[in-house]
Amino acid sequence: MFSKSKIHEPGPKAAQDSKDTSTDAKAPLVPRPGSDFASTSRSKAPASVLSADLTVTGNIKTTGDVQIEGTLEGDIRAHLLTVGETATIKGEIIADDVVVNGRVIGRVRGLKVRLTSTARVEGDIVHKTIAIESGAHFEGSVQRQEDPLGGAGAPRIPAPAPAADNA
């Protein structure tokens, strides 16, 4: 089994404990905060990247993070979606966080939506919070909802029926 080396630990206790390692061989290895082992074993998975030379036709669904640099013709659902400057998405976007640097043709639904200065969006945006930087191009409607990810769309109130003429 592996044991933790006492050689590099500061203080007089490290020198004293280096003589008696029989108890350390049975002790579990516990990573120290900030150590390489602790950061790699608990790190979040990196974002999936669709490169600029890639075209995907179809829907994508993940609970992780996605960065699109190429072309997607279909809907995408993710935790964090970053649309790169060279990217084009033709379809609906549903994500907790959406950052648009490129082109989107379709509806965007997100808790936090951010259009950067290079964004080009043609479609409706349903959001909880939104930020639109100066220079972004946006054509569509914006609607705030407390839960923009729930349901297929905003509840529609039917138009009242015309009054019957009793004359």
pLDDT of residue 42: 45
Q: At residue 97, what is the residue type?
A: D
| Average pLDDT along the chain | 79
Residue 110: band (very low, low, confident or very high) from pLDDT cuts 50, 70, 90: very high
- Residue with the bigger pLDDT between 89 and 10: it is 89
Residue 22: band (very low, low, confident or very high) from pLDDT cuts 50, 70, 90: very low
CA 22 to chain centre: 47
Tokens coding 5: 């080396």
Among 32-36, 87-91, 128-132, the least confident range: 32-36
pLDDT of residue 10: 52
Note whether 66 and 48 are within 8 A (CB): yes
- Residue with the bigger pLDDT between 126 and 37: it is 126
pLDDT at 3 over 90: no
The tens digit of pLDDT for each residue in 23-73 reads 444 544 444 554 444 444 445 788 899 999 999 999 999 999 999 999 999
CA dist., res. 153 & res. 58, Å (int): 21
Beta strand extents in the chain (DSSP E only) = 48-50, 55-57, 60-61, 65-68, 71-73, 76-83, 88-90, 93-100, 103-105, 108-115, 120-122, 125-132, 137-139, 142-144
The tens digit of pLDDT for each residue in 137-152 reads 999 999 999 999 986 4
pTM score: 0.65
pLDDT at 83 over 70: yes
Please state the domain extents for the chain. Answer: 1-43, 48-144
pLDDT of residue 136: 97
